[in-house]
Amino acid sequence: MDKRIAFITGATSGIGLATAHLLAANNFNLILCGRRADRLESIKKELSSTTKVITLNFDVRNKQEVISAIASLPVEWKKIDVLINNAGNAHGLSPIQQGDAADWDAMMDINVKGLLYVSKEIVPGMVERKSGHIINIGSIAGKEVYANGNVYCASKYAVDAITQGMRIDLNPYGIKVTGIHPGMVETEFSLVRFKGDAERAKNVYKGVNPLKPEDIADIILFTVTRPAHVVLADMIVFPTAQASATTVKRDPA
Ligand code: NDP
Ligand code: 8X3
């Protein structure tokens, strides 16, 4: 295979899905991951006319599932050039004293430990080959704590710390490490955060022209197509209407 191979977690919606589409059209073969098998199948069907696609159906929280899924890759797919650690969500938005422990577990297990489990199976190959590019999707929530964000913010601060740590530890091997920290992106993110409450999710973006998942995909494509000696290390990306986690210019209805 002369195309590069990109491994994308959370490819069934939002940023991961938009990135899969853009990388498929730009000379990448794809390994697409997620829990929703039906979506993975239809995305594979759609993108297979453009590029080679393999899907892996696993929950990043489950260490054994992560290990088995990645071990099942055919040998010609094991040389992963680009790892995009994107799977993640917020679960709930409550003051700490009212937080739900199941939501806390989900955020720490998915956003932090899931990212580590996946990386553990892929990074040693990059080290051996002395090449590769890891892109971790953090958040503005990993740069600024906001009211009621507590544990989601903690999970994304952890992603930022792990990203910095990876960049330092993998420096001797010529592996690029990039952190991308978006502000408001309209995806299924708010629907998941508010447990399916579509009205509440819609209100998050009321009066704002938020980022689209395609905007982040564009930045990912730019990032992975820089010359060998260039790495975009860390980026905060806002819609123009946003200036900080909580400073958002909203147009009146
Ligand atoms: P979506 O909800 O649209 O996508 C989340 C993706 O993560 C889905 O593909 C989902 O797939 C996958 N995922 C969630 N839980 C698991 C799990 N346990 N195991 C495997 N995959 C899982 O949201 P976004 O596209 O917005 O989110 C992508 C990333 O961007 C996240 O890390 C999020 O924190 C981050 N982010 C989002 C922002 C936003 O405003 N939207 C802003 C800043 C950062 P499936 O359900 O099929 O498993
Ligand atoms: C998603 C952006 O501001 O809801 O990570 O935390 S925010």
Ligand nearest to C-alpha 188: 1
Q: Is 40 in the pocket of ligand 1 (CB under 6 A)?
A: no
**Closest by Cα among 161, 151, 28 to 97:** 151
β-strands 133-137, 82-85 pairing: parallel
Question: What does the pLDDT look like over 47-90, one tens digit per residue?
Answer: 999 999 999 999 999 999 999 999 999 999 999 999 999 999 99
Q: Which two tokens stand for residue 190?
A: 């708010």
Q: What is the rounded CA–CA span in Å between residue 215 and residue 235?
A: 13
Ligand nearest to C-alpha 187: 1
* Backbone φ and ψ of 52, nearest 5°: -85, 135
What sign does the dihedral 144-146-149-151 (CA atoms) show?
positive
Q: Is 182 in the pocket of ligand 1 (CB under 6 A)?
A: yes
Cβ neighbours of residue 71 closer than 8 Å, sequence gap 6 or more: 121
DSSP string, 99-117: --HHHHHHHIIIIIIIHHH
Q: Is 140 in the pocket of ligand 2 (CB under 6 A)?
A: yes
Average pLDDT over the chain, rounded to whole?
Answer: 98
Instruction: Report all structural domains of the chain as residue ranges with CATH numbers, in order of start.
Output: 4-237 (3.40.50.720)
pLDDT score, position 1 = 57
Residue whose Cα lies nearest atom 6 of ligand 2: it is 141
Residues annotated as part of the active site: 152
To 10 degrees, what angle do helices 115-129 and 63-71 make? 40
Q: Is 153 in the pocket of ligand 2 (CB under 6 A)?
A: no
3-state secondary structure (DSSP) of residue 246: coil
pLDDT score, position 253 = 78
In ligand 1, which atom is closest to the CA atom of 138? 44
Q: Tell me if 236 sits within 8 A of 243, measured CB to CB.
A: no
Q: Tell me if 109 sits within 8 A of 61, measured CB to CB.
A: yes
Half-sphere exposure at residue 74, Cβ-oriented, CA atoms within 13 angstroms: 10
Q: Is 14 in the pocket of ligand 1 (CB under 6 A)?
A: yes
Q: Tell me if 169 sits within 8 A of 119, measured CB to CB.
A: no
Q: Which two tokens stand for residue 138?
A: 């953090």
Residue whose Cα lies nearest atom 5 of ligand 2: it is 139
Q: Which residues of the chain have pLDDT under 50?
A: none
pLDDT score, position 119 = 99
Q: What is the rounded CA–CA span in Å between residue 136 and residue 73?
A: 22
Q: Is the pTM of this model over 0.75?
A: yes
DSSP class of residue 29 equals E
In ligand 1, which atom is closest to the CA atom of 159? 32
To 10 degrees, what angle do helices 115-129 and 150-169 make? 10
